[in-house]
Structure 1
């Protein structure tokens, strides 16, 4: 790709990121309104978890907007970069913000694990459910935050810029982005190094970072799958033991949560895993990695939609809102048409 093509690709990438961020704030704010004002009475403490995830996604979009990161890989090196020439912050602050952005990535899946645990506790009538109605809910909500802190700390300490990585990508970054390494902040992985004798070696501290991140993803996803499956079967068992309304609500919440969980898996974890894999094999994907920056920013914009359209109370409110707008528009059009017809039949009225 030519330098002008890369510049154009950067503009498209950042434009799509900012559009997604704006949509995320609007849609998540609307969902919070629905949760507070239109939730079924039987939703209980779960509405606080729903508000928690919407607030998290709004904050994620804000951090994405402020940091404006982009992914790039070259050979075995994978970098997440901030262009300091376009940033409001100096290099140390930009690096801290970039690692915070990374921490949000680690928190995203862990949040859904807590949601699935709650749904299972509801389905089984567990005594632990009461902890979500007391101050102990803070302990539950702290688990995803802890995962995010660990992920962000790994980026800060294990994937910090190194002299070897900086020199390895210096010329390539200059050729592709017309940026000196002093003009960017980055954290990244460089799986292989070369010693003074030209012998290649594995950078084990970065492998440790990958192992930690893999544990976070695996444990979060495993928790969601395990409790999701158990909840599904438990709801089916209870179908004939609870009211139809309660059974339908539990099913709606579970299906909504399943779709919500699939969105970050598809838009975040799969693209990044592909990029990691190619870098680990020593085949950097270059500027095409920017697709990951776009899809990650799309996650908080799309994630509220399943809740809005699967939960019946919310869906009905949205449909009624559009029906009212449509009816009002049609009424105004009909009135204008009748007035135009009267004017054609009585042209003298125009002179009044």
Structure 2
């Protein structure tokens, strides 16, 4: 940066982040669509349950990247606090829900990776057990990741609602780092301790 030039504001960094998010969504959308196309029409060795898992995982990737465009989530750790907020403009309640839903999708994807690992392990070492993934069993295994998703996002939505103490705790941090007034931002705040060090 040249001497005398004004330093870029945090808002300009958010714009860069938004551009990269859009590029990521576009690349992920094209790649996952291509993967679905190949899996459905050209790959002959992947059949049955695993084929459905590959297609489902690709769809989850598209939904996750697309929802990131909608919710514009950010997480900031500060001292004894974690603030999870959205940079989206619009209805406060909707965008607060949107970042909770984003975390829900995130956990579903992580859980689904675990399901795929278990399926592959069973396919190699215990083929008879792997057959439990076939038929109607596939719905159980595809539905299982919803449970960790709910266990991850619902408590956050219920217990991490912003309050006066949490807002006061992170107000200056948000203003100095992001140039954002905390009251205007859809957010969840986790401040674990009171000022006297007791658990909240």
TM-score scaled to structure 1, two decimals? 0.52
Aligned equivalents of 2:59, 2:117: Cα separation in 1: 18
CA contact under 8 A between 1:3 and 1:177: conserved in structure 2? no
Distance 1:151 1:66 in 2: 20
What CA distance in whole angstroms lies between the structure 2 residues aligned with 1:20 and 1:200? 42
2:83–2:190 Cα contact (<8 Å) kept: yes
What is the TM-score when the length of structure 2 is the normalising length?
0.87
CA-CA distance at 1:77 after TM superposition = 1.6
Superposed counterparts of 1:248-327, under 5 Å: none
More helix by share: 1
- Quote the Cα distance in structure 2 between the aligned partners of 1:153 and 1:109: 16
Task: Report if aligned partners of 1:77, 1:190 keep a CA contact under 8 Å in 2.
Answer: yes
Superposed CA deviations along residues 166-225 of structure 1, whole A, max 9, x for unmatched, are: 11122332344333223101113223221xxxx22233xxxxxxxxxxxxxxxxxxxxxx
Question: Secondary structure, in 3 states, of the residue corresponding to 1:193?
Answer: coil
Counterpart of 1:82? 86
1:28 correspondence with 2:32: yes
* Cα deviations by residue, 1:7-55 (Å, 9 ceiling, x for unpaired): 2222222221221111111111110011111213354321001111111
The answer to whether residue 90 in structure 2 is matched with residue 94 in structure 1 is no
Give the whole-Å Cα distance in 1 for the aligned partners of 2:172 and 2:189: 16
What is the aligned partner in structure 2 of residue 327 from structure 1?
none
2:111 paired residue number: 110
Q: Give, in whole Å, the separation in 1 of the partners of 2:22 and 2:53.
A: 26
Relative to 1, partners in 2 of residues 1:157 and 1:38: Cα closer, same or farther, differing over 3 Å? same
RMSD: 2.0
What residue number does 1:202 align with? 199
Q: What is the alpha-carbon distance in structure 2 between the residues aligned to residue 3 and residue 79 of structure 1? A: 25
Alpha-carbon distance between aligned partners in 2 of 1:117 and 1:174, rounded to the nearest angstrom: 45
Shift of 1:114: 0.9
Unpaired segments ≥5 residues, structure 2: 1-5
Mapping of residues 8-157 of structure 1, within 5 Å? 8-41=12-45, 43-83=47-87, 86-87=88-89, 89-157=90-158
Alignment of 1:330-341 (within 5 A): none
Cα offset, 1:140, TM superposition: 0.8
Structure 1 position 3, deviation (Å): 7.6
In the alignment, which residue of structure 2 is the partner of 1:207? none
Q: Kindly indicate whether structure 1 or structure 2 has the higher relative contact order, using CA contacts under 8 Å at least 6 residues apart.
A: 1
When the two structures are aligned, how many residues end up with a matched partner?
195
Unaligned runs of 5+ in 1: 204-352
**Are the equivalent residues in 2 in contact too, given 1:81–1:185 (CA < 8 A)?**
yes
For the residues of structure 2 that align with 1:190 and 1:164, how far apart are their CA atoms? 8
Task: Tell me whether 1:183 sits opposite 2:184 in the alignment.
Answer: yes
- How far apart are the structure 2 equivalents of 1:122 and 1:34? 22
Q: Take 2:155 and 2:118, find their aligned partners in 1: how far apart are those partners?
A: 26
